[in-house]
């Protein structure tokens, strides 16, 4: 434990969170968004927070990993984590949120069809058009339209939907919600960024540098409706006021990007990230993970069967990739006395420790 650590640092969660809030940003990472006093982020309670804590508390970081995570926190830069599947890349994001008390993790899963817009906000244009049509068909609106057609009315027919009505058809995505102005950061997990379209990393650069983005649908209406309330990714009824169509962060979010190494990224993108590569855990770390997650100490004399499973996992990893949760599954089954017979050993291992890559995958 080092004095400058925030994540896994000294003190309880409240103390580390206070230090995080008071941490001065680098001069080039200062942002000046104004929080909406009526918007309250999700608390550290409830089902979403419990899922974050349950997943995050099982992570066992090594000292070099903790150094790099804290480097990203101090510099307020995105953290790009690479490594083979199953080494705990995504879990690290939950560990940071749980350790610092930053609320439920915002998760943005990436596919080959994902665009920047998908993570920022969603606009139900069809729903709004349908409402406008229904409004136009109401008796009063139809009567006014008929009078206008006959020339009996000098005033134009009012628009079927007011400017403020658009807020009902907008909702911030996980990326957009993370950049809402707050005095403490949210944790955003951008999962499997290497599966994205080739343009997405470049599209993220402006957002990471500016710390904000514009919603054109609101910006066009800013003169008539300067402030509009829209929903967030946390809940459909968690509304936040957006001024002049602009979302601007105050504290840069804790952005964790994961990659399985399926592609390279442009230098401009890498330059703006703090990079961490996770190697598969060795025997000591595996033993600590098992103890943390299953409360089983494989070093105790009575747990020789679990130690044997761990060694089998290590040996098989030399022939192809295995994920740590496969080992946890195997030990959990042994704890339940499943596949207990010696004659079932080979079938049991082939079932629970099946390679993810390699000749036998």
Where the chain has pLDDT below 50, the residues are 144-145, 148-164
Q: What is the pLDDT of residue 124?
A: 81
Q: Of 244, 278, 312, which residue constitutes the final position of a domain? A: 278
Q: Are residues 101 and 85 in the same domain?
A: yes
In a domain, 144, yes or no: no
Residue at a domain's end among 278, 303, 334:
278
Is residue 66 a part of any domain in this protein? yes
Residue 344 lies in a domain: yes
| pLDDT at site 156 | 41
Give domain status of residue 85, yes or no.
yes
- Both 175 and 304 in one domain: the answer is no
Please indicate, yes or no, if residue 139 is contained in any of the structural domains: no
For residue 127, is it within any domain? Answer: no
pTM over 0.85: yes
- Tell me the two tokens of residue 281: 């855990």
Residues 268 and 322 in one domain: no
Based on the fold, state whether residues 26 and 114 are members of the same structural domain: yes
Residues 254 and 295 in one domain: no
- Report the distance separating Cα 77 and Cα 200, nearest Å: 17
Residue 236: give its domain's CATH number.
Answer: 3.40.50.300
Answer for the pair 52, 94: CB distance below 8 angstroms, yes or no.
yes
194, 264: one domain: yes
Total domains, the chain: 2
Domain that holds residue 327: 283-352
Residue 199, token pair as written in the block: 């343009």
pLDDT at residue 83 in the model: 94
- CA distances to 220, 309, 313, 325 from 352, rounded to whole Å, are 56, 11, 10, 10
Can you give the pLDDT at residue 340?
72
Q: Which residues pair with 170 in a beta bridge?
A: 123
Residues 87 and 173 placed together within one structural domain of the fold: yes
Q: Note whether 68 and 172 are same-domain residues.
A: yes
Backbone Cα Rg of the chain: 26
Answer yes or no: do 68 and 183 share one domain: yes
Whether 90 and 204 share a structural domain: yes
How far CA 116 is from CA of 174, 208, 358, in Å, comes to 11, 12, 34
Taking only the tens place, the pLDDT of each residue in 201-230 is 999 999 999 999 999 999 999 898 999 999
Q: What are phi and psi of 124, to 5 degrees?
A: -90, 80
Pair (297, 273) in one structural domain: no
**Which pLDDT score is estimated for 36?**
96
Q: In angstroms, how far apart are the furthest CA atoms of the chain?
A: 96
Looking at the domain assignment, is residue 155 inside a domain?
no
Whether 98 is in a domain gets the answer yes
Among the candidates 251, 278, 305, a domain finishes at 278
Task: Note whether 110 and 250 are same-domain residues.
Answer: yes
């Amino acid at each position: 434990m080092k004095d400058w650590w925030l994540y896994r640092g000294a003190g309880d969660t409240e103390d580390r969170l206070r230090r995080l809030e008071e941490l001065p940003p680098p001069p080039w990472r200062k942002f000046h968004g104004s929080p909406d006093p009526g918007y309250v982020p999700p608390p550290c309670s409830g089902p979403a927070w419990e899922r974050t804590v349950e997943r995050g508390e099982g992570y066992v970081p090594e000292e070099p990993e903790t150094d790099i995570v804290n480097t990203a926190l101090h510099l307020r830069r995105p953290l790009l984590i690479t490594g083979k599947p199953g080494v705990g890349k995504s879990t690290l994001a939950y560990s940071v949120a749980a350790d610092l008390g930053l609320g439920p993790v915002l998760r943005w899963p990436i596919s080959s069809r994902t665009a920047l817009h998908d993570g920022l906000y969603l606009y139900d244009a069809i729903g709004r058009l349908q409402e406008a049509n229904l409004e136009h068909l109401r008796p009063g609106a139809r009567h006014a339209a008929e009078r206008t057609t006959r020339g009996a009315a000098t005033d134009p027919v009012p628009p079927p939907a007011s400017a403020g009505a658009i807020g009902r058809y907008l909702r911030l995505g996980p990326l957009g919600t993370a950049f809402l102005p707050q005095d403490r950061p949210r944790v955003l997990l951008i999962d499997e960024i290497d599966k994205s379209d080739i343009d997405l990393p470049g599209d993220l650069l402006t957002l990471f540098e500016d710390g904000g983005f514009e919603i054109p649908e609101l910006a066009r209406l800013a003169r008539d409706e300067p402030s509009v309330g829209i929903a967030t990714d946390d809940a459909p009824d968690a509304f936040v006021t957006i001024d002049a169509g602009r979302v601007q962060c105050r504290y840069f979010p804790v952005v964790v990007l994961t990659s399985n190494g399926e592609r390279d990224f442009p230098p401009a993108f890498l330059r703006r990230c703090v990079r961490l590569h996770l190697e598969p855990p060795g025997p000591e770390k595996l033993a600590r993970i098992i103890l943390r997650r299953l409360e089983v100490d494989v070093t105790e004399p009575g747990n020789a069967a679990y130690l044997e499973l761990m060694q089998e996992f290590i040996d098989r990893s030399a022939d192809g990739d295995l994920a740590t949760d496969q080992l946890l599954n195997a030990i959990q089954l042994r704890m339940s006395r499943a596949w207990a017979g010696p004659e079932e050993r080979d079938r049991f291992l082939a079932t629970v420790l099946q390679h993810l890559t390699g000749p036998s995958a």
